[in-house]
Amino acid sequence: MDEPNMVTLRDLQVSFKAPGKLIRAVNGVSLEVKRGEVVALIGESGSGKSVTLRAIMRLHPPATARISGTLEVAGQDVLALSSRALADLRGATVAMIFQEPLLALDPVYPVGAQLVERIRRHTKCSASEAHAKALALFEKVRIPSPLRRLDAYPHELSGGMRQRVMIALALSCSPSVLLADEPTTALDATVQIQILLLLRELQQELGLSIVFVTHDIGAAAEVADRIAVMYAGKIVEQGPAIELLTRPRHPYTLSLLKSRSHGAMQKGQRLDTIAGAPPDLANLPAGCAFAERCAHADQACRSQTPVEEIVGSGHTVSCLRLHQIRPIHQTTTSHIIEQELT
């Protein structure tokens, strides 16, 4: 019997009410995350990655956000939970690492006090026991001089240290599922690699299930077991990381890969770009949302909605021209990801 998923999304829809319009940010996302698996969501800004991630914890304001579909975490129907049950779920079962820790941390309290408060909220322990656990967590995420750093305020820490504090906060109550919303975007390249390696090491040590949002294909290749590519609020391709990166089948996936600099580029060579811009989420076109930017699109693509097709083991693609486009095994793609997969 198959082990139950830690995260299950079925036809997830998220929209936001705005003056005179409805913004459809997520449009039918279906995704499964197994125990101990890392799934990366990649795509351009505005593709619905972060909205999907925050919906898993129901962080969107209920006054303006409408969420429908199936949304389960560790077997619990998140959309049916009461406010109290949802508060118990957050932190203890599922936790999030936010993109900008300086905004996520409270600026008027030391980071150690915030960590101790989180631990005591979800576990039955004394203040001294919580303090000892906070210190141990700082040591686990390799914060130097951890005892002194517990008394530091967020603005007194570097970006990399703040992100390590966020990871410690996320792990403080031993969650089963970790949501990482572009945790390396605001960091320099050296610190990015350190954080990615730390996340992967902690995931393997603790057996965490992770949903990792990023627009950086290199970061996804570094940490993910599976990758899902999002465009205009939908997953257009998903599959095992190596399979998807070496044999992309959707035109948008290939465009993302080709638009990245890589070691095979010659001096003076221009980067490939994706022409045009993503569609207006308040006025989505009929048919395939990528059609206006796709070199392979025909009239059918502009009127018919593509359905998901299986092209390999766990590898699915939503594209009407799938069987007319030659499967991609280009050396260019291999060069693009060579450094990330070795």
Q: pLDDT tens, 98-120?
A: 888 888 899 999 999 999 999 99
What range does the domain containing 139 cover?
A: 102-174
Are residues 190 and 167 part of one domain?
no
Are residues 209 and 147 part of one domain?
no
Q: Residue 331 pLDDT more than 50? A: no
Boundary-marking domain end, from 132, 148, 174: 174
Are residues 112 and 60 part of one domain?
no
Tell me, yes or no, whether 1 lies in a domain: no
- How buried is residue 159: exposed, middle or buried, by Cβ count under 10 Å (0-12/13-18/19+)? middle
Are residues 218 and 164 part of one domain?
no
Task: State the Cα–Cα distance between residues 317 and 306, nearest whole angstrom.
Answer: 9
Are residues 180 and 63 part of one domain?
yes
Are residues 314 and 232 part of one domain?
yes
pLDDT in tens, 158-173: 989 999 999 999 999 9
**Number of domains, the chain:** 2
Q: Residue 194 contacts by C-beta under 8 Å, 6 or more apart in sequence?
A: 160
Are residues 204 and 136 part of one domain?
no
Q: pLDDT band at residue 336, thresholds of 50, 70 and 90?
A: very low
Are residues 59 and 33 part of one domain?
yes
Task: State the Cα–Cα distance between residues 133 and 107, nearest whole angstrom.
Answer: 22
Are residues 239 and 196 part of one domain?
yes
Are residues 42 and 108 part of one domain?
no
pLDDT of residue 102: 87
Are residues 228 and 300 part of one domain?
yes
Give the C-alpha distances (Å, rounded to integers) separating 130 from 57, 117, 151: 25, 8, 14
Tell me, yes or no, whether 220 lies in a domain: yes
Is the pTM above the cut of 0.85?
yes
Q: Residue 226 pLDDT more than 50? A: yes
